[in-house]
Amino acid sequence: MKNSVQRKMLGFLVVFCSLILSLSGCAKDEEADTAAAVSEKKATLAFPWSPTSLDPHGNDSWEVMRSGTAETLVKLNEELEVTPWLAKEWTQENDKTWVFKLEENVRFHNGKTMDAASVKESLMRSLEKDTKVKDLLQVESMEVLSENELKIVTKQPNAALAAHLADPSTIIADVATIEEKNSYPALTGVFKFKQFTKDEDLIVERYEDYWGTQALLSEVTIKFIPDGNTRLMALQSGDVDAATDIPIDNISLLKKNETFDVLTAPSLRTHLLLFNMNSPLFKELNLRQVIDRSIPREDIILSIMMGQGTEAKSPFPEILPFGKGEREETKGSVEQLMEQSGWKKNPDAIWEKEGKAFEITLLTFPQRPELTVMAEAIQSELLAKGMKVNIRQVENIDEALINDEWDLSMYSMLTAHTGDPQYFLNIFYRSDSEANISHYASSHLDDMIDELNRTVDSTKRNQLALQIQEVINQDLPQSFIVHPKTVFGVRNNVKEFTPHPIEYYYIHSQIDVTK
């Protein structure tokens, strides 16, 4: 009897002790959990494009910027106004002279302090590596005034200099680290590179010594998934927490599922159709007009874009002050235009000239799936009008545009990512620009662009930009189709990962993941 009481007591003691122990364990765990939650939250994002290297200057600058690791002297806000970033303020002393005052306490990812000398060195390298930057900035000389002051003198008055310093190709980097083989470039962003595997993923981690607000996430993995559908499925299966550029047709799928949010925002992008002005057919304005008129824009916006975009009348979206261009109304029907150019319909109802049927090649690419559907819609429309179109899908559109024979190509451009028309007009339309992929050459237009580059007053600049677009719409080196919206698919526990009109500011310190 006594024994059993003792045993009961002992049992009670054991249970009691273990309960206390386990409770205290719990408390400890919880504490550890909250501490870990601050520092150990990670997110995985899916982006379509992979950089070929992490060199911040040159062709990969956009993708490097997109990873949240890099910063420029200035930044554009959602209204596309220039705001301070690495430069806290700047003054324009005269037409050609600017003084930028830099943020203090900025450290590169290798711990080195950023000063005016290192900024100068970095800008020098971008000028050297990228002819586009040279054209944009028109820098004559740079001078280090003090530890945190840099003077930039331009060759000609360059009103958009500050805005152009927001271009990712002017990322500020510690130049000495870029060419090093055993380490990643040291930049200044809120995240720093951890590991990069080309075409697969880029892992970035929080930079503890960041000069501004620390990142909420400790690590972000960016997976590069070029195919839109695969990106969507990665999101659905939980492989990634968010994905950019979701195929528009599949939005409904995500909307049906409560765990996902679909975020859209107007972009500064234009989907367009490029004419190869070197192709024998499209040297002729008449034929370009025929194609331009045959694009079923309304159907495309309503059905292919499902309303997620607005009709494009000029390269710049209408939300911009210089984006109110109007499409040139052409006179005469398609038949009249074709006959004017000496084409006749053959018995198969296909246009023919000197015994050769009208047959053209149209390039398209898989990264933006809606472009391929548009290409097929345009193909069908043209076939109904007696023009044969062969669609060719290529993996790397930019390479194909340089190397291959083509007549037409689907394309998509971010046209005003510096919040200013000058950049796009210079790189896309100047006869001597490498990025002028339509091979459009007009000395009249070159003069107008020069004038724009010289003009300082913003109303006058906008007016000039509109006049330039008028000439473009008359000469028609491209057909503008639609200004699409940017579509993100996001798991609803991901916070603050939202579409920004400027496509490379997606990753920032405030992105967070809740449980």
Partner 1 sequence: MKKTPYSWDASLIVGINLLIIIVLIGLLAPWISPHDPLKVNLSNRFVFPSWTYPFGTDHLGRCILSRIIYGIRISVAFAFLIMIVTFIISLPIGLITGYWRARANHFFMRLIDGTLAIPDIVLTIAIVGMLGPGFLNMMIAIILVRWASYVRFIRSLVLKICEEDYILSARMSGNTHARIMRRYILPVTFSPLVIFGALDMGKIVLLMAGLSFLGLGAQPPTPEWGAMLRDATAYFQIAPHMMVFPGVAILLFVLACQLISDRFKKLNAADLKEV
Nearer residue to partner 1 within complex by CB, 228 or 421: 228
Q: What are phi and psi of 311, to 5 degrees?
A: -65, 135
Closest CB to partner 1 among residues 6, 390? 390
Element (H or E) spanning 135, and its range?
helix 131-137
Residue 48 or 296: the one with the smaller Cβ distance to partner 1 is 296
Rounded CA separation 148/229 (Å): 48
Q: What is the CA radius of gyration of the chain?
A: 28
For residue 85, give Cα distances in angstroms to 100, 318, 507, 508.
Answer: 11, 27, 15, 13
Nearer to partner 1 among residue 216 and residue 232 (C-beta): 232
Q: Is the Cβ of residue 94 or residue 237 nearer to partner 1 in the bound state?
A: 237
**How far, in Å, CA of 135 to CA of 25, rounded?**
64
The Cα angle at residue 280 between residues 276 and 285, in degrees rounded to 5: 70
Run of H or E residues at 271: strand 269-275
C-alpha pair distances (Å), 433 with each of 249, 286, 430? 36, 25, 5
Q: Note the residues at the interface with partner 1 (CB under 8 A).
A: 228-229, 232, 247, 249-250, 252-253, 296, 299-300, 302-304, 369, 373, 376-377, 379-381, 383, 390-393
Nearer CB in complex with partner 1: 105/380? 380
Q: Which residue has the tokens 């971008």?
A: 126
Of the candidates 289, 247, 282, the one whose C-alpha atom is nearest the C-alpha of residue 358 is: 282
Nearer to partner 1, 407 or 475 (CB): 407
Nearest to 275 by CA among 260, 267, 266, 287: 287
Between 336 and 390, CB nearer to partner 1: 390
Q: What is the dihedral of CA 119, 124, 130, 133, to 10 degrees?
A: 70
Q: 75 or 293, CB closer to partner 1?
A: 293
> For residue 291, how far is the Cα from the chain centroid?
28
Shortest distance, position 393 Cβ to partner 1, whole Å: 6
Q: Which residues contact 180 (CB under 8 A, 6 or more apart)?
A: none
Q: How far is the CB of 251 from partner 1 (least distance, A)?
A: 10
What is the Cβ-side half-sphere exposure of residue 445, based on CA atoms within 13 angstroms? Answer: 26
Residue 233 vs 435, nearer CB to partner 1: 233
User: Minimum CB separation from partner 1 for residue 233, in Å?
Assistant: 8
Nearest distance from residue 218's CB to partner 1, in Å?
33
| Strand ranges inside 294-402, DSSP E | 309-311, 344-345, 351-353, 356-357, 359-364, 388-393
Do 415 and 276 form a contact (C-beta atoms < 8 A)? no
Shorter beta-carbon distance to partner 1: residue 23 or 302: 302
Q: Considering beta carbons, is residue 172 or 362 the nearer one to partner 1?
A: 362
> 49: buried, middle or exposed (CB in 10 Å: 19+, 13-18, 0-12)?
middle
Least separation in angstroms between CB 362 and partner 1 = 10
Distance of closest approach, residue 253 Cβ to partner 1, in angstroms: 5
DSSP for 401-417, written as a single string: HHHS--SEEEEEEE--T
Which residues make Cβ contacts (< 8 Å) with residue 241, sequence separation at least 6?
A: 43, 44, 45, 235, 490, 491, 493, 494, 497, 513
Which residue matches tokens 């620390």?
Answer: 214
